[in-house]
């Protein structure tokens, strides 16, 4: 891991990153810009103390990485922010109730089994009307945010450990063998998206291996500065795919993809496989094998930060969507500005997240699209909640692979499909 001082010393204070930063856009405060945060970190390194002000401005950063491609000097803010968060985390400068909420979040979210067990109490709380955000806000704003964001509880899809390639829908020679990350929140609440990913990959000629021993990739913890927990989780997941013997691990979660690609820096050794977003892999396979059925829909594509800024994956999802007959792809204003989801940012900083969510919902609604597509379940939850919050017509919100899956299977989609 590169030295924090050396990383911050690369900043020449030019300010080119400021317009790209969502928190600077919101508040116009220097200390809530990438340049301002780097300045605070330098002061902290000189003085050796994490002040309450440093903690506050680091906590307010979304970790969206929009500042990385915006910086002409190549400042690696993606390497700076995890180290800054780890220092703030270990300094314990937050109020006790905030620390308790964080401890609760990180004792639950990275653990798929605990999340699955939580579905029962969540269902009961909903039935009894105890999940009303206005009620929970009296305890803590993060609980109210969690209730507003919580997805419908669909029956979970149990995936097999291997899905065989059926190129074009028929038995035939496979093009690749890939591992599929099912993760933590994804496996508890978005197993239907993982199932769609496995179907699309199989129809495009891939054997899909889904090892049982995998779990959270460590992204949620890493992005919050909990590196010890991130390393424990990452080691377990890396080992599960090592045992599976795959050369490529595919994910349909933008944040997880970023994390898997940073395993060498997190664990100090590179894994035996290469990580790819599902759209990256599909495009890299070349000419599609499966027939695309028409989807006569207008779709607005939202760039998930960890897909566009974190991994540089912008063209592939658009190309795949544009390849569906009848589908009209439109671009919202500021398509690559963070929606406010940012891992668990929308739970930890709900007011800022809601403001960004409202801006994103307005931009998406202005396109007139019937469907919003994105490559990250966290964005789907955040955007769906922001669209619900306004009394206006709501487009459906779907993962990019759900649209591909529907096209390959000849399904009919409508605004009620999300």
Q: Which residues of this chain interact with ligand SF4, rule CB under 6 A?
A: 11-17, 20-23, 34-35, 37, 61-67, 71, 73, 75, 77
Question: Residue 14 or 389: which CB sits closer to ligand SF4?
Answer: 14
Of 23 and 251, the one with the shorter C-beta distance to ligand SF4 is 23
Closer residue to ligand SF4 in complex, CB, 20/397? 20
**Please, what's the largest Cα pairwise distance for the chain?**
65
Q: Which is nearer to ligand SF4, 79 or 252 (CB)?
A: 79
Q: How far is the CB of 23 from ligand SF4 (least distance, A)?
A: 5
Least Å distance between CB 59 and ligand SF4?
11
Strand order in the sheet with 248-251: 162-163, 206-209, 176-180, 248-251, 274-277
Closest CB to ligand SF4 among residues 29, 247: 29
Smaller CB separation from ligand SF4, 23 or 187: 23
CB of 15 to ligand SF4, least distance (A): 5
Tokens for 8? Answer: 């911050």
Q: How far is the CB of 308 from ligand SF4 (least distance, A)?
A: 12
Q: What is the CA radius of gyration of the chain?
A: 21
d(CA 1, CA 373): 35
Residue 342 CB coordination number (10 Å) = 27
The rounded Cα 167 to chain-centroid distance in angstroms is: 29
Smallest distance from the beta carbon of 360 to ligand SF4, in angstroms? 14
Rounded CA-CA distance 6/118 in Å is: 43
| Helices and strands counted in the chain (H then E) | 23, 9
SS (H, E, C) 180-225: ECCCCHHHHHCHHHHHHHHHHHHHCCEEEECCCCCCCCCHHHHCCC
> Residue 10 or residue 105: which is nearer to ligand SF4 going by CB?
10
Shortest spacing between CB 370 and ligand SF4, in angstroms: 30
Query: Which CB atom, from 16 or from 106, has the smaller least distance to ligand SF4?
Result: 16
**Alpha-carbon gap, residue 404 to 204, rounded angstroms:** 11
Tokens 């800024």 label which residue? 309
Phi, psi (deg, nearest 5) at residue 325: -60, 140
| CB 64 to ligand SF4: min, Å | 4
265 class by beta-carbon count within 10 Å (0-12 exposed, 13-18 middle, 19+ buried): middle
**Is the Cβ–Cβ distance between 248 and 278 less than 8 Å?**
no
Nearest distance from C-beta of residue 305 to ligand SF4, angstroms: 7
Q: Which is nearer to ligand SF4, 64 or 87 (by Cβ)?
A: 64
On whether the CB atoms of residues 77 and 366 are closer than 8 A, the answer is no
Whole-number minimum distance, CB 290 to ligand SF4, in Å? 37
């Amino acid at each position: 891991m590169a030295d924090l001082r050396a990383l911050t010393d690369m900043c020449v204070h030019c300010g080119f990153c400021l317009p790209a930063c969502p928190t600077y856009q919101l508040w116009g405060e220097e200390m809530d810009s990438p340049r301002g945060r780097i300045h605070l970190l330098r002061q902290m390194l000189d003085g050796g103390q994490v002040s309450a002000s440093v903690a506050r401005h680091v906590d307010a950063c979304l970790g969206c990485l929009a500042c990385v491609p915006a910086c002409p000097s190549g400042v690696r803010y993606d390497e700076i922010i995890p180290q800054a968060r780890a220092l703030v985390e270990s300094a314990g400068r937050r109020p006790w109730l905030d620390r308790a909420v964080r401890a609760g979040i990180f004792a639950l979210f990275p653990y798929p089994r605990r999340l699955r067990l939580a579905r029962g109490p969540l269902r009961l709380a909903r039935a009894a009307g105890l999940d009303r955000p206005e009620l929970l806000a009296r305890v803590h704003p993060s609980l109210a945010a969690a209730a507003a964001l919580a997805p419908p509880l669909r029956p979970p899809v149990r995936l097999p450990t291997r899905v065989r390639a059926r190129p074009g829908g028929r038995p035939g020679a496979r093009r690749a063998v890939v591992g599929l990350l099912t993760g933590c929140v994804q496996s508890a609440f978005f197993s239907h998206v993982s199932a769609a990913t496995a179907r699309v990959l199989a129809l495009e000629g891939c054997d899909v291996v889904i090892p049982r021993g995998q779990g959270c990739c460590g992204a949620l913890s890493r992005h919050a500065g909990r590196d010890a927990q991130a390393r424990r989780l990452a080691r377990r997941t890396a080992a599960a795919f090592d045992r599976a013997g795959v050369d490529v691990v595919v994910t349909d979660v933008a944040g997880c993809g970023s994390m898997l690609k940073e395993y060498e820096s997190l664990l100090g050794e590179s894994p035996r496989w290469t990580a790819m977003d599902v759209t990256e892999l599909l495009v890299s396979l070349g000419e599609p094998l499966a027939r695309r059925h028409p989807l006569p829909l207008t779709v607005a594509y939202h760039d998930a930060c960890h897909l566009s800024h974190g991994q540089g994956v912008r063209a592939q999802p658009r190309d795949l969507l544009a390849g569906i007959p009848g589908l009209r792809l439109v671009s919202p204003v500021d398509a690559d500005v963070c929606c406010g989801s940012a891992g668990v940012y929308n739970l930890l900083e709900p007011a800022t997240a809601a403001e960004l969510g409202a801006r994103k919902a307005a931009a998406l609604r202005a396109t007139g699209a019937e469907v919003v597509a994105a490559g990250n379940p966290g964005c789907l939850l955040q955007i769906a909640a922001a669209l619900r919050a306004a009394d206006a017509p709501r487009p459906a919100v779907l993962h990019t692979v759900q649209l591909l899956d529907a096209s390959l299977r000849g399904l009919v989609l409508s605004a009620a499909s999300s």
